[in-house]
Each structure stands twice: as structure tokens, then as C-alpha cells.
């Protein structure tokens, strides 16, 4: 239990103010999670049932057809594409970003500070502007409509954050350990791989998770750098289904939305503690 700072002493549980706080907290929780609950509930209803007035809250009986639909047609392919793209982006971006982050943290110099500021600023670069030139590049390299095209897009989207996250993480690691190892005769590469890498594992996990989540959710690169159905990542594929074929099949669409959300939610639930620490420490410190 964390002791609060806005109240000097933790409130006893049945203090009127504590009771009022609990009420507000529970009401906000319900309100905030209601849309997600509605999505899941609708995914188990029949098309007849969702068009009933007044609406039913619980499905009158569990209808699994929408969920089955979410695993039919091109959707498994979209899933596979998203998994491949998100995993590759997470590995590549984390490695590249962590190397840069480590360098910036350890090599204190005006040039590395400038590089850090450049990465911060680059998050604001208008994406359509970047996409146009990258589209030209990719078409010259014959990479349009490949995984590599989308991975490149997602990498430039996430690299700045990974640099910032890992830089902040390494700032907290004592440099003395590395220095004394150097004095004892260890080479820089050995220091990096044998000493720094193991210490950085939680930071790398947080960064990798951030990249995976971002890549899984990203829509525009997936839409414009792929052109054939079998190369579409999940968000782009779903959006085209929604806009073209299934606009009014709400249970089916809610099932697809649920199934697209679920894997990332489970992954996030498993790792979010490290992640929250990484992100908030970064946000609060800088």
C-alpha cells in the first residue's frame, strides 16, 4: 500500500471521505470499461438480437458464430501478418534504439545531447510527409507490399521512444561498474554484452513491449505500404472489411474488434508492471 501525498495520513477505510472516494472510483471504473464490456457482449449476440429495442444487456444465449467469423476468411492471415511485423519491429527497433540509448547515456557530449533532442523532435514530424518520400524509396527498392515496408514504417515510429526509454534506464545504472571492469582489462564489447546487457533486460523488455503494442495497433503504414489482401496487417485488413463488406453485421465486427484486442491485452497484462515503471519514470524524470 502506497501512502498518499495529498492526504498526509492514510485514511481509515470507513472514513466518509474514503467511502466517497471508493464510490467515485467504482463509478469511473464502470464508465471507462463499459465500452469494452459492450464490445465483448455484442460479439456473443445474434444479428436479430442487436437490432432489438430495447436492447438486451446480456446475450439471451451465447452465439459463437461471430467469434468463429473472426477466425475465418482472410482474418487469420491478417493476424499472422501482424504478429510477424510486430515481432520483427520489436526486435530490430529495440536493438537499434538500445545501442543508441546506451551511447547517448554514456558518451556525454554536446553531439549526443543534440541527437537525443533530435529524436524527441522527430516524434512530431508529420507522418504523411515522411511517408511520401519513404514510399518513393520503397518503390525504387521494390519493397512495397512486403513485411519489410511496414516494419520500416513502424521502426521510424517507435525508434525515438525506445532511445528515450533505454537512455533513461541506463542513466540509472551505475557507470562505476563498467569503469572498474575496464580498468581490470575487459574490452568495451565484453563490457557491453556481459555486463550491460543483463542489467538492461527489464528496460529492453519494456521497450520491446512498447514497440510491439504500437506496431500491433498501427494503421496507416499497414494500409498504404501494402496493396494485396494477403499482406495486410490486422488494423488495415479489418478497416477494409468494416468499410466495404460488413458495415451492419455488428456482432461480427465486435467479435473481430474483440479478437484483435485480446492478444495485446493479455501480453500487456503479463508485462505491464515493468512497462509502467519504464514509461512513467521517463515521463517524470525528464
Partner 1 sequence: MWLILKHSPLTLALLFAPGLVVSAIFLVYPVINGVRLSLTNASPMRPIQRFVGLSNYTYLLSDRTFWEVLANSFVIVGAAIAISMVAGFALALLLNQGLRGTYFFRVAVFQIWVVPWISVAILWGWVFNADYGIVNYVMVRIGLIGHNLNWFADPYLARLVIILGFAWRMIPFMMVVSLAALQSISKEILDAAAVDGAGPWERLRDIVLPLLRNILVVMGLLQGVKLFQEITLPWVLTQGGPVNATTTLSLYAYKLAFQRWDFGLASTVGTLWLCILLVFALAYLRFFVSARND
Map residue 11 onto helix, strand or coil.
Answer: coil
> How far is 143 from 134, CA to CA, in rounded Å?
10
Question: For the chain, first and last CA: distance in Å?
Answer: 26
Per CB under 8 A, the list member of 48, 109, 172, 270 interacting with partner 1 is: 109
Report the C-alpha gap between 77 and 75 in whole angstroms: 5
* Of 205, 204, 240, residue with least CA distance to 219: 240
Distance CA 229, CA 45 (A): 28
- Residue with C-alpha cell 511517408? 131
Q: Does residue 68 belong to the site contacting partner 1 (CB under 8 A)? A: no
- Closest approach of partner 1 to the CB of residue 64, in Å: 19
Q: Which of 197, 205, 239, 245 binds partner 1 (CB under 8 A)?
A: 239
Q: Which segments within 10-58 are labelled E, that is strand?
A: none
* 117 touches partner 1 (CB under 8 A): no
35-64 residues in contact with partner 1 (CB under 8 A) are 35-36, 38-39, 42, 50-51, 53-55
Sites for partner 1 among residues 143-182 (CB under 8 A): 152, 155-156, 159, 163, 175, 178-179, 182
* Residue 78 makes contact with partner 1 by CB under 8 A: no
Which one among 74, 135, 143, 202 touches partner 1, defined by CB under 8 A? 135
CA torsion through residues 115, 118, 123, 128, sign? negative
Q: Choose one: 26-34, 64-72, 83-91, 199-207; the region binding partner 1 (CB under 8 A).
A: 26-34
Q: Does 96 bind partner 1 (CB under 8 A)?
A: yes
- Please report how close the Cβ of residue 61 comes to partner 1 at its closest, in angstroms: 19
Task: Please give the C-alpha separations between residue 24 and each of 19, 113, 195, in angstroms, as whole numbers.
Answer: 9, 44, 48
- Radius of gyration from C-alpha coordinates of the chain: 24
* 95 belongs to the binding site for partner 1 (CB under 8 A): yes
- The interface region with partner 1, picked from 59-67, 68-76, 101-109, 198-206 by CB under 8 A, is 101-109
Nearer to partner 1, 58 or 243 (CB): 243
Least separation in angstroms between residue 205's CB and partner 1 is: 16
97 neighbors 207 (Cβ within 8 angstroms): yes
| Contact pick of 68, 80, 99, 270 for partner 1 (by CB under 8 A) | 99
3-class DSSP state for residue 94? helix
Q: Which is nearer to partner 1, 128 or 198 (CB)?
A: 128
Amino acid at each position: 500500500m502506497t501512502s498518499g501525498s495529498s492526504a498526509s495520513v492514510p485514511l481509515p477505510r470507513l472514513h466518509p471521505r474514503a467511502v466517497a472516494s471508493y464510490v467515485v472510483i467504482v463509478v469511473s471504473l464502470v464508465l471507462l470499461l463499459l465500452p469494452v464490456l459492450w464490445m465483448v457482449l455484442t460479439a456473443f449476440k445474434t444479428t436479430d438480437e442487436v437490432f432489438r429495442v430495447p436492447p438486451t444487456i446480456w446475450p439471451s444465449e451465447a452465439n459463437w458464430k461471430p467469434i468463429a467469423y473472426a477466425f475465418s476468411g482472410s482474418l487469420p492471415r491478417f493476424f499472422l501478418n501482424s504478429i510477424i511485423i510486430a515481432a520483427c519491429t520489436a526486435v530490430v527497433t529495440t536493438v537499434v534504439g538500445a545501442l543508441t540509448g546506451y551511447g547517448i547515456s554514456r558518451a556525454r557530449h554536446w553531439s549526443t545531447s543534440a541527437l537525443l533532442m533530435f529524436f524527441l523532435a522527430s516524434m512530431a514530424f508529420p507522418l504523411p510527409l515522411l511517408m511520401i518520400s519513404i514510399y518513393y524509396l520503397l518503390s525504387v527498392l521494390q519493397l512495397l507490399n512486403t513485411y519489410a515496408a511496414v516494419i520500416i514504417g513502424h521502426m521510424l515510429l517507435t525508434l525515438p521512444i525506445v532511445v528515450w526509454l533505454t537512455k533513461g534506464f541506463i542513466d540509472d545504472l551505475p557507470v562505476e561498474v563498467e569503469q572498474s571492469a575496464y580498468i581490470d582489462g575487459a574490452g568495451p564489447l565484453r563490457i557491453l554484452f556481459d555486463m550491460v546487457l543483463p542489467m538492461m533486460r527489464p528496460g529492453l523488455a519494456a521497450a520491446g513491449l512498447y514497440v510491439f503494442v504500437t506496431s500491433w495497433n498501427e494503421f496507416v503504414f499497414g494500409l498504404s505500404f501494402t496493396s494485396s489482401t494477403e499482406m495486410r496487417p490486422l488494423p488495415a485488413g479489418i478497416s477494409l472489411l468494416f468499410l466495404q463488406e460488413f458495415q451492419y453485421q455488428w456482432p461480427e465486427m465486435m467479435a473481430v474488434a474483440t479478437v484483435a484486442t485480446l492478444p495485446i491485452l493479455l501480453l500487456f497484462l503479463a508485462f505491464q508492471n515493468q512497462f509502467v515503471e519504464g514509461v512513467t519514470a521517463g515521463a517524470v524524470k525528464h
